Amino acid sequence: MDHSVHNKLISFIWGIADDCLRDVYVRGKYRDVILPMVVLRRLDTLLEPNKDAVLEEVRFQKEEMGATELDDAPLIEASGYVFYNTSKWTLKSLFNTATNNQQILLANFEEYLLGFSDNVKEIIECFNLQSQIRHMAAKQVLLDVVEKFVSPYINLTPEAAEDPDGNKMPALTNLGMGYVFEELIRKFNEENNEEAGEHFTPREVIELMTHMVFDPVKDQLPLTMTVYDPACGSGGMLTESQNFIEEKYPNESRDIYLYGKEINDETYAICKSDMMIKGNDPENIRVGSTLSSDEFASSRFDFMLSNPPYGKSWASEQKHIKDGGDVIDPRFKVTLTDYWGNREEVDATPRSSDGQLLFLMEMVSKMKNPSESPLGSRIASVHNGSSLFTGDAGGGESNIRRFIIENDMLEAIVQLPNNLFYNTGITTYIWVLNNNKPENRKGKVQLIDASLLYRKLRKNLGNKNCEFAPEHITEITDTYLACSAIERKLNENNDPIGIASQVFSNQDFGYYKVTIERPDRRKARFTSEAIAPLRFDKQLSEVMAHLYSEYGESVYETSGYGPDGNKSFLQSIDKEILNWCEDNEISLNAKAKTKLLDVRHWLKLKALLKSAEQLMANIGQEEFDDFNRFKMLVDKALKALGIKLSSPEKSAILKAVSWYDEHAQKVIKKVQKLSGDKLDALLMRYDCRAEDLSHYGYFPTAKPNEFITYETNGDLRDTESVPLGQSIYQYFLDEVKPHVDEAWINLDSVKIGYEISFNKYFYRHKPLRALEDVAQDIITLEQKAEGLIAQILGVKVEDVQGGE
């Protein structure tokens, strides 16, 4: 569509809001009228030529067939579209027969709306149009609005026309109508400080995506083709895909079916109306949350394109996807192999604050199996940087990347320029997936850095200040199709320009996350100060210490308080306790409150302190640098004193009186005999020799086949990321052992992760400028500044310098 015509049309429609709605709606509500009226007028213009044929079909069914309910099929055939209107009205006839009586106009308008087919009625309901026309009628502006939309100076029809002054008005194509919708949405959202990008994607980005999805298989395109967008917004991805195929690779025998889902009622209504206008099946567009319900559970699609919301929480939808920690939606569970070769079903959900990868998994779950459909499925999806690298090994995000890459679905990722989208200036990427790669791409992933390919806009559109020119789209597409490495060029200032491409093996993005352990070394000594905190719960220590210092032994009194004398002392002052916590900014949940007011809990802790005091009296206050000997003395003392402690209670005492010291003895966890089958199994598991078992935490003693394992110190624990192609053991020997001799590998902890770092692969170091060059620039600037100051003061530079 010609840009000048497009802009003129937008300006006219935009002016309707200012001319008619200024005193009736606040500015932020203009869209509630203008958008549905644009849709309605467009539908109206399409139905006008065949209005008489539809009315004749209505008469025939009612009078000659005696039908009590109208048959849709003949009405659709008569209208020429998948929708119709059985009322006698059009928007023009509503205006032409209108009087100044707004109530009569309102009644006729409502009759007109009721005459639409059910699929249009749903759109009207989503726009809440009936309440809007009632409001406009009540405010005496309905006639004015209708007059504007049927003005002979605006052409919303698919046919060329002339205005009353004889000026030609080009036809408004379906594609042009799409531009009108989207530009209006952008302008309204800009007025309301909303995010236009939630509704549509820049057309040049969609064009690039369609090239990358369809061009590689242009000779294999099926005659019956399905295209799906799980976050379809106003339908731009779908309609542009259809337009691309019909224009670039036309075939009269080809049928293209578009499917989509959209959560926002308004944009859903626009998308659905767009489908109807273009002759597509509007029933394939669904409203609601893609994540909460799987509308297309039994469907598989040939092509999928989407720009899902990123950085947007999906916490409200978790209940549909997870039951506690268990994933219950099969779309978001994947089967992976752990380090030991065991296959397991794992979580494939990202953190609740960002659900974009869930939409990618939704599309992956809808891919056709190449064994059933030779082409398989192809996907293009826009994401921000978090999809590339957030999430630790074994976490949901990493599992998603791993599943896609290990199943050889990731074909390419293209980094786009910043500020290319309307609602964000951050870096974005197009992911291209294919579950039936050609031979030259199998086992490979291509990364393309196109962040420096753009041309500046003359005027910013929201955050968007640049765009792709056609030659940029061609260059990126050609680079992608070539699937080869391209080094970025440098200009005369040694700055990078143009495009860069690199091709990697799938496993280049994977790594082992392995835990490196070190032995715990502890000293221990009983002192009154060390065991005193045992009187209080560690999580409630501050408030318990306050209560004990304030009320002393009263906190242990179990009854005699309250009106009936059955309350404990603590229960009787519960309000004062909670007020003190609030004043001191201490937050207590229900469980903590119950525990705090429970005298039995206080008495249990008091008994633990008493046990520690008895142990101190028995063992004394000598300092031990061998915690193993200290524990033996504690066990012996407990037995002698007849004190029975649970494992957590005993552990609490030992922790209270011990501390890490690098010069202390290692804390032994277990001494065990390993021989025969047990030893063979261990050597096979770690694929090592007996003398190497110390590298895995089994340290030999002087006795044959006897090994010691040590307690680990969590504060000294470290993790290493080892590339998949590298031996964990060799990495340990080269990178860890020389620096920490007593460390060992916890091979049972190994998790496999995947991440992709564009900075790592495309960063090129630029040398710092020479000091002499920087100094010369500073001197030049200083001279310029002096000349400017002298000019302002009306003196000569020489005079100023002479005065110095």
Q: Which residues are CB-neighbours of 544 under 8 A, at least 6 positions away?
A: 535, 536, 537, 596, 602
Annotate 202-221 with b (16+ C-beta within 10 A) or e (fewer). bbbbbbbbbbbbbebbeeeb
Of 140 and 779, which is predicted with more confidence? 140
Cβ atoms of residues 303 and 216 within 8 Å: no
Average pLDDT, the chain: 90
pLDDT of residue 563 exceeding 90 = no
Query: Using the 8-state DSSP alphabet, how is residue 395 labeled?
Result: S
**451 three-state secondary structure:** coil
Phi/psi of residue 98, each to 5°? -75, 150
Query: What pLDDT score was predicted for residue 195?
Result: 46
Q: Which two tokens stand for residue 602?
A: 């206080």
Query: Using the 8-state DSSP alphabet, how is residue 567 labeled?
Result: B
Q: Which two tokens stand for residue 223?
A: 């005659």
Q: Which two tokens stand for residue 776?
A: 């010369």
Query: What pLDDT score was predicted for residue 197?
Result: 41
Tens of pLDDT along 716-725? 999 999 999 8
Phi/psi of residue 455, each to 5°? -130, 145
Side chain identity, residue 664: A
Query: What pLDDT score was predicted for residue 788?
Result: 67
Query: What pLDDT score was predicted for residue 756?
Result: 95
Query: What pLDDT score was predicted for residue 276?
Result: 85
Name the burial class of residue 753, with classes exposed (0-12), middle (13-18) and buried (19+) by CB atoms within 10 angstroms of its CB. buried
- Mean pLDDT (whole number) for 342-354: 94
Tell how far CA 406 is from the center of its chain. Answer: 21
Q: Which two tokens stand for residue 164?
A: 């009353």
Query: Maximum Cα–Cα distance for the chain, whole Å?
Result: 113
Query: What pLDDT score was predicted for residue 572?
Result: 92
Predicted confidence band of residue 731 (pLDDT cuts 50, 70, 90): very high
pLDDT of residue 345 exceeding 60 = yes
Tens of pLDDT along 379-428? 999 999 999 999 999 999 999 999 999 999 999 999 999 988 876 778 89
Cβ atoms of residues 477 and 208 within 8 Å: yes
Hey, how many other C-beta atoms are within 10 angstroms of the C-beta on 593?
15
CA distance 718 to 740: 11
% of residues, the chain, pLDDT over 90: 71
Tens of pLDDT along 466-507? 899 999 999 999 999 999 999 988 887 777 788 999 999 999
Q: Which two tokens stand for residue 472?
A: 């940029």
Q: Which two tokens stand for residue 539?
A: 């999580």
- Mean pLDDT (whole number) for 658-686: 95
Q: Which residues on neighbouring strands pair with residue 85, listed in sequence order?
A: 116
Predicted confidence band of residue 797 (pLDDT cuts 50, 70, 90): low
CA distance 110 to 686: 78
Cα within 13 Å of Cα(704), Cβ side: 2
> Comparing 128-137, 292-301, 454-463, which segment has the lowest mean pLDDT?
454-463
Annotate 180-192 with b (16+ C-beta within 10 A) or e (fewer). bbbbbbbbbbeee
Q: Which residues are CB-neighbours of 279 under 8 A, at least 6 positions away?
A: 81, 82
Phi/psi of residue 710, each to 5°? -110, 150
pLDDT of residue 10 exceeding 90 = no
Q: What is the 3-state secondary structure (H, E, C) of 177-203?
A: HHHHHHHHHHHHHHHCCCCHHHCCCCH
Query: What pLDDT score was predicted for residue 491?
Result: 80
Tens of pLDDT along 91-145? 999 999 887 778 899 999 999 999 999 999 999 999 999 999 999 999 999 999 9
Of 25 and 774, which is predicted with more confidence? 25
- Mean pLDDT (whole number) for 725-737: 95
Q: Which two tokens stand for residue 730?
A: 């060799």
Query: What pLDDT score was predicted for residue 789?
Result: 63
- Mean pLDDT (whole number) for 457-468: 82
> Comparing 94-108, 597-611, 624-638, which segment has the lowest mean pLDDT?
94-108
CA distance 767 to 164: 67
Predicted confidence band of residue 196 (pLDDT cuts 50, 70, 90): very low
CA distance 584 to 142: 60
Q: Which residues are CB-neighbours of 69 under 8 A, at least 6 positions away?
A: none
Task: Kindly give the residue spans of alpha helices, DSSP state H, lying in 314-395.
Answer: 318-321, 356-364, 386-389
Q: Which two tokens stand for residue 786?
A: 């002096």
Tell me the whole-structure pTM to 2 decimals. Answer: 0.84
Query: What pLDDT score was predicted for residue 389?
Result: 92
pLDDT of residue 568 exceeding 80 = yes
Query: What pLDDT score was predicted for residue 488?
Result: 85
Distances from the Cα of 259 to the Cαs of 124, 262, 280, 281, 786, in angstroms?
Answer: 21, 10, 10, 9, 67
Q: Which two tokens stand for residue 451?
A: 């962040």
Q: What is the 3-state secondary structure (H, E, C) of 262-311?
A: ECCHHHHHHHHHHHHHCCCCHHHEEECCCCCCCCCCCCCECEEEECCCCC
Beta strands in 674-705 (DSSP E): 699-700
Phi/psi of residue 636, each to 5°? -65, -40
pLDDT of residue 525 exceeding 60 = yes
Query: What pLDDT score was predicted for residue 659?
Result: 97
Predicted confidence band of residue 793 (pLDDT cuts 50, 70, 90): low
Cα within 13 Å of Cα(669), Cβ side: 13
Cβ atoms of residues 213 and 482 within 8 Å: no
- Mean pLDDT (whole number) for 269-280: 85
Count of all residues that appear for the chain in the document: 804
Of 775 and 671, which is predicted with more confidence? 671
Helix (H) or strand (E) holding 7: helix 3-20
Q: Which residues on neighbouring strands pair with residue 486, listed in sequence order?
A: 501
Query: Using the 8-state DSSP alphabet, how is residue 424 labeled?
Result: -
**373 three-state secondary structure:** coil
Q: Which two tokens stand for residue 543?
A: 């408030």
pLDDT of residue 265 exceeding 80 = yes
Predicted confidence band of residue 703 (pLDDT cuts 50, 70, 90): very high
Side chain identity, residue 9: L
Query: What pLDDT score was predicted for residue 794?
Result: 65
Predicted confidence band of residue 68 (pLDDT cuts 50, 70, 90): confident
